[in-house]
Amino acid sequence: MHHFFTKPDILSKLVLKKNRTEQGARRCRKRGGEKRMADMLVKLYHLNWDAGFISEQAQQGVCIRKPVGPEKHVVIDWVRANFSAGWASEVDVAISRVPGTCFMAVKADQFIGFACYDATALGFFGPIGVHETFRGRRIGSALLRACMLDMKLKGYGYAIIGDTTAFAFYEKTVGAVEIADSTPGIYGSRVKHNK
């Protein structure tokens, strides 16, 4: 598998220095009081996890798994109702891949969260969402780790987190670093729905 980021000198030019303080990084990410979005890079080859995050969630009664075919329409409808039509489209793409590239968090036979990769572009992570009543329970972290581990096991060396404002979450959870000059990135030329 060919990876675009193979030379350390190229990588260092693309990725902002990680040694900035978090406070300084937050100041750099805001423009005129408004949060800006950027892509982030994850070195999958540095991630050494077992699947402990899955059993941690199971202790809370949450199952982290991939949806099966007959659930596809239910998952897409749930994402559209709780998040957005755009994210529902990306989930449709991720579930339709073989093997699928979408993970769900399920509690008491109800969907409570999801995360996908390879939905917008190959090597891209996202979208990710957890229903607001279940946030703060590390479910998003477990879904992110499930996707990153799946990507790593498929042979990806890097993952790109596309168009995010959740810099601190990704830095803390998977050691992601911001990619310089990545806004608007791949999303800049998309056609939006006319009302």
48-104 pLDDT per residue, tens: 877 899 999 999 999 999 999 999 999 999 999 999 999 999 999 999 999 999 999
In a domain, 2, yes or no: no
Work out how many domains the chain is built from and give that number.
Answer: 1
> Is 193 part of any domain?
no
pLDDT exceeds 60 at position 193: yes
- The per-residue pLDDT for 30 is 46
Q: Map residue 137 onto helix, strand or coil.
A: coil
- Give alpha helix (H) positions in the chain: 8-14, 22-29, 52-58, 72-82, 85-96, 139-153, 167-174
pLDDT confidence of 25, banded at 50, 70, 90?
very low
> What is residue 15's DSSP assignment?
B
- pLDDT of 187: 74
- Write the CATH number for 159: 3.40.630.30
Q: Is the pLDDT of residue 26 over 60?
A: no
Give the pLDDT confidence of 37-59 residue by residue, as tens digits.
899 999 999 998 778 999 999 99
pLDDT of residue 73: 97
Task: Please give the mean pLDDT across all residues of the chain.
Answer: 84
Report how far residue 95's alpha carbon sits from residue 90's, in angstroms, rounded to the nearest whole number: 9
**For the chain, how many residues are written?**
195
Where does the pLDDT of residue 22 fall: very low under 50, low under 70, confident under 90, or very high at 90 and above? very low
Show the domain range for 12.
8-186
The two three-digit tokens of residue 109, written as one number: 């036979």
Q: Using alpha carbons, list the distances in angstroms from residue 181 to 23, 26, 38, 104, 184.
A: 20, 16, 8, 32, 8
Q: Does residue 3 sit within a domain?
A: no
| 37: in domain | yes
pLDDT at 139 over 80: yes
3-state SS, residue 37: coil
Q: Tell whether pTM > 0.75.
A: yes
Q: Tell me the residue type at 163.
A: D
